[in-house]
Structure 1
Amino acid sequence: MSSIEEDGKTKGYIFIEYESEKEASQAVKIANGYKLDKHHIFIVNPFSSFDSMLNLEEDWNPPEKEPYVDKGNLRSWLLDADCNDQYSVIHGGGEKVDIYLNTPNEPVLVKERDRWTETYVSWSAQGTYFATFHKQGIALWGGEEFNRIGKFSHQGVQMIDFSPCERYIVTFSPLPDSPNDPQSIIIWDVRTGTKKRAFQCGDCSRWPVFKWSHKGDYFARIREEAISIYETPSFGLLKKKSIKVPSISEFAWSPGDNIISYWLPEIKDTPARVTIMGIPGREELRVKNLFSVATCKMYWQNKGDYLCVVVDRYTKSKKALHYNMEIFHLREKQIPVDTLELKEAVNAFAWEPHGDKFAVIHGETPKISVSFYRCQKGGRTTLLKTFEKKQVNNIFWSPRGQFCVLAGLRGMNGALEFYDLNEVTLMNVGEHFTATDVEWDPSGRYVSTSVSWWAQKVDNGYNIWSFQGKLLQRHPVNQFCQMLWRPRPQTLLSEEQVSKIKLEIKKYHKMFDNKDRMSQKKASKELIEKRRRMMREFLDYRGRKKQEFDEQAEQRQDLRKGYEDIQEEVDDFEEESVEFFIREEQAIIE
Structure 2
Amino acid sequence: MSTEAPTQFSYRAQKELTIWSGYPEYQPLKTFEKPETATRAFQYSKYGHAYAYATNESVKVYDAGSLEQWCEIKRPNVIDLWLSPQGSFVATWERPTKLEDGSGSRNLIVWDAKTGEEIASFSQKAQNNWNFQWTDDEKYCARMVTGEVQFWESRNAGKAVWARLKLEGIAQFSLSPGKSPAVAVFVPERKGAPAIVRLFSVPSFNQPLSNKTFFKADRIQTFWNDLGTSLLVLTQTDVDKTGKSYYGETNLYYLAVAGTFDCRVPLDKEGPIHDVTWGPDSKEFVVVYGSMPAKSTLFDHRANPVHSFGIDPRNFVKFNPQGRTICIAGFGNLNGTIDLWDRKSLTKVKSFQAPNASHCEWSPCGRYLLTATLTPRLRVDNGFKMWHHTGTLIYEESVNELYQVGFRPEPASKYPMRSISPAPKPIKVLSTLNADVKPIAKPLGAYRPPHMRSGGAPTSLAQREADMAAGRSTSGPRKIPGAPVGAKFASKNKKDGKKEAAPPAAAKPTPVNAEETQKKIRNLEKKLRQIRELKDKQTKGDTIEPAQLQKIGTEPSVMRELAGLRALL
Task: Rate the CA distance shift 1:138–1:313 in 2: closer, same or farther, 3 A.
Answer: closer
- Greater shift, 389-398 or 308-317, is seen at 308-317
- Give the letter aligned to residue 169 of structure 1: V
Task: Rate the CA distance shift 1:268–1:484 in 2: closer, same or farther, 3 A.
Answer: closer
**Separation of aligned partners in 1, 2:297 and 2:114:** 45
**Of 265, 286, 298, which residue of structure 2 is paired with 1:372?**
298
Match of 1:100 in 2: 20
Give the drift of 1:253: 0.9
**Of 181, 185, 199, which residue of structure 2 is paired with 1:262?**
185
Give the drift of 1:241: 5.7
Other structure's SS at 1:404 match: strand
- Give the letter aligned to residue 157 of structure 1: V
Give the drift of 1:201: 1.1
Are 1:280 and 2:203 an aligned pair? Answer: yes
Other structure's SS at 1:233 match: helix
Provide, for residues 297-346 of structure 1, a one-character-per-residue CA deviation record: whole Å limited to 9, x for no partner: 33211221211123458999977787653322336xx4222333334331
Task: Rate the CA distance shift 1:189–1:177 in 2: closer, same or farther, 3 A.
Answer: farther
- Is residue 153–residue 162 contact of structure 2 (8 Å, CA) maintained in 1? no
- Is residue 405–residue 418 contact of structure 1 (8 Å, CA) maintained in 2? yes
- Is residue 222–residue 232 contact of structure 2 (8 Å, CA) maintained in 1? yes
**Separation of aligned partners in 1, 2:238 and 2:19:** 50
Give the drift of 1:273: 2.3
Match of 1:335 in 2: 260
Question: Where in structure 1 are there 5+ consecutive unaligned residues?
Answer: 1-79, 493-497, 528-578
- Give the letter aligned to residue 264 of structure 1: V
- Greater shift, 399-408 or 281-290, is seen at 281-290
Give the drift of 1:431: 0.9
- Greater shift, 155-164 or 422-431, is seen at 422-431
Other structure's SS at 1:284 match: coil
- Is residue 90–residue 481 contact of structure 1 (8 Å, CA) maintained in 2? yes
- Give the letter aligned to residue 370 of structure 1: S
Give the drift of 1:432: 1.3
Task: Rate the CA distance shift 1:312–1:194 in 2: closer, same or farther, 3 A.
Answer: closer
Give the drift of 1:238: 6.9
**Separation of aligned partners in 2, 1:177 and 1:314:** 32
Are 1:344 and 2:271 an aligned pair? Answer: yes
**Separation of aligned partners in 1, 2:363 and 2:181:** 28
**Separation of aligned partners in 1, 2:221 and 2:357:** 26
Give the drift of 1:190: 1.2
**Separation of aligned partners in 1, 2:400 and 2:297:** 38
1:107-506 to 2 correspondences below 5 Å: 107-111=26-30, 113=34, 115=36, 117-142=38-63, 146-178=67-99, 182-206=105-129, 208-236=130-158, 242-256=164-178, 257-268=180-191, 270-295=193-218, 296-311=220-235, 324-330=251-257, 334-342=259-267, 343-365=270-292, 367-375=293-301, 380-488=302-410, 491=413
**Separation of aligned partners in 1, 2:73 and 2:128:** 23
- Is residue 121–residue 132 contact of structure 1 (8 Å, CA) maintained in 2? yes
Provide, for residues 247-269 of structure 1, a one-character-per-residue CA deviation record: whole Å limited to 9, x for no partner: 11221111113210112233346
Give the drift of 1:283: 4.1
- Give the letter aligned to residue 234 of structure 2: V
- Is residue 70–residue 115 contact of structure 2 (8 Å, CA) maintained in 1? no
- Greater shift, 308-317 or 319-328, is seen at 308-317
Give the drift of 1:219: 1.9
- Is residue 364–residue 411 contact of structure 2 (8 Å, CA) maintained in 1? no
Give the drift of 1:408: 2.4
* % identity of equivalent residues: 20
Give the drift of 1:220: 1.8
Give the drift of 1:159: 0.5
Using the size of structure 1 for normalisation, the TM-score is 0.64
**Separation of aligned partners in 2, 1:228 and 1:200:** 14
**Separation of aligned partners in 2, 1:374 and 1:217:** 32
**Separation of aligned partners in 1, 2:240 and 2:299:** 29
- Is residue 57–residue 76 contact of structure 2 (8 Å, CA) maintained in 1? yes
**Number of positions where the alignment pairs a residue of Structure 1 with one of Structure 2:** 424
- Give the letter aligned to residue 358 of structure 1: F
Task: Rate the CA distance shift 1:476–1:277 in 2: closer, same or farther, 3 A.
Answer: same
**Separation of aligned partners in 1, 2:261 and 2:148:** 27
Match of 1:571 in 2: none
Give the drift of 1:142: 4.2
Give the drift of 1:424: 2.4
RMSD of aligned C-alpha atoms? 3.6
- Give the letter aligned to residue 263 of structure 1: F
- Is residue 116–residue 132 contact of structure 1 (8 Å, CA) maintained in 2? no
- Is residue 88–residue 114 contact of structure 2 (8 Å, CA) maintained in 1? yes
Match of 2:517 in 1: none
Match of 1:540 in 2: none
**Separation of aligned partners in 2, 1:439 and 1:245:** 36
Give the drift of 1:242: 3.0
- Give the letter aligned to residue 184 of structure 2: S
**Separation of aligned partners in 2, 1:182 and 1:83:** 45
- Give the letter aligned to residue 133 of structure 1: A
- Give the letter aligned to residue 387 of structure 1: F
Match of 1:13 in 2: none
Task: Rate the CA distance shift 1:284–1:403 in 2: closer, same or farther, 3 A.
Answer: farther
Give the drift of 1:117: 4.1
Provide, for residues 45-97 of structure 1, a one-character-per-residue CA deviation record: whole Å limited to 9, x for no partner: xxxxxxxxxxxxxxxxxxxxxxxxxxxxxxxxxxx952211122334xx2123
Give the drift of 1:580: 8.7
**Separation of aligned partners in 2, 1:454 and 1:325:** 31
**Separation of aligned partners in 2, 1:315 and 1:130:** 39
- Is residue 254–residue 300 contact of structure 1 (8 Å, CA) maintained in 2? yes
- Greater shift, 415-424 or 481-490, is seen at 481-490
- Give the letter aligned to residue 222 of structure 2: M
Bigger fraction of residues in helix: 1
Question: Where in structure 2 are there 5+ consecutive unaligned residues?
Answer: 439-569
- Is residue 37–residue 55 contact of structure 2 (8 Å, CA) maintained in 1? no
Larger CA Rg, structure 1 vs 2: 1
- Greater shift, 471-480 or 256-265, is seen at 471-480
**Separation of aligned partners in 2, 1:314 and 1:475:** 39
Match of 2:469 in 1: none
1:515-526 to 2 correspondences below 5 Å: none
